């Protein structure tokens, strides 16, 4: 369990975060951190928008831009936002198709959080006039 006192990224300077995570290589799920779900009673629904997501097309090397939307119902864990930001930065110079980026984000968050439900949507800007908005979803059985 990670208590909020043990979070590595939160409150660090930019220099300390560079040491924690070099965003130029690849998305690293080990940078993701969590804290205990504060909702003791009832269901907490979390909506997160990452408005400046970038990755690279694996064929052309051209940049792809998107808004990533994450909706989830936590079980016992909530994702720490600064660690999510550092994780997402790992896609900046990483070549992967839109569908694979969204799937990777969803699977990494499920492994970390073990949520009741999670949906990740990638709202990518159009390429060749065609927008792709892949959605990946998970629901605990």
Active-site residue set: 57, 64
> Can you tell me the distance from the alpha carbon of 139 to that of 20, in angstroms, rounded to the nearest whole number?
32
> Can you tell me the distance from the alpha carbon of 40 to that of 31, in angstroms, rounded to the nearest whole number?
27
Secondary structure letter of residue 5 according to DSSP: G
Which of 51, 66, 48, 59 is closest to 118 using CA atoms? 48
> Can you tell me the distance from the alpha carbon of 63 to that of 72, in angstroms, rounded to the nearest whole number?
28
> Can you tell me the distance from the alpha carbon of 44 to that of 78, in angstroms, rounded to the nearest whole number?
10
Query: What's the CA angle centered on 74, arms 97 and 33, to 5 degrees?
Result: 65
């Amino acid at each position: 369990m990670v208590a909020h006192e043990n979070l590595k990224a939160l409150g660090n300077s930019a220099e300390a975060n560079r040491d924690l995570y070099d965003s130029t290589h690849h998305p690293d799920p080990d940078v993701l951190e969590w804290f205990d779900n504060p909702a003791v009673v009832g269901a907490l629904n979390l909506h997160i928008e990452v408005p400046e997501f970038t990755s690279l097309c694996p064929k052309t090397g051209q940049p792809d831009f998107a808004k990533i939307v994450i909706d989830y119902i936590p079980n016992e864990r909530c994702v720490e936002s600064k660690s999510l930001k550092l994780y997402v930065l790992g896609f900046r110079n990483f070549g992967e198709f839109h569908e694979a980026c969204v799937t990777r984000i969803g699977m990494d968050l499920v492994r970390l959080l073990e949520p009741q439900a999670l949906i990740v949507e990638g709202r990518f800007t159009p390429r060749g006039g065609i927008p792709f908005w892949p959605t990946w979803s998970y629901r605990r059985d």
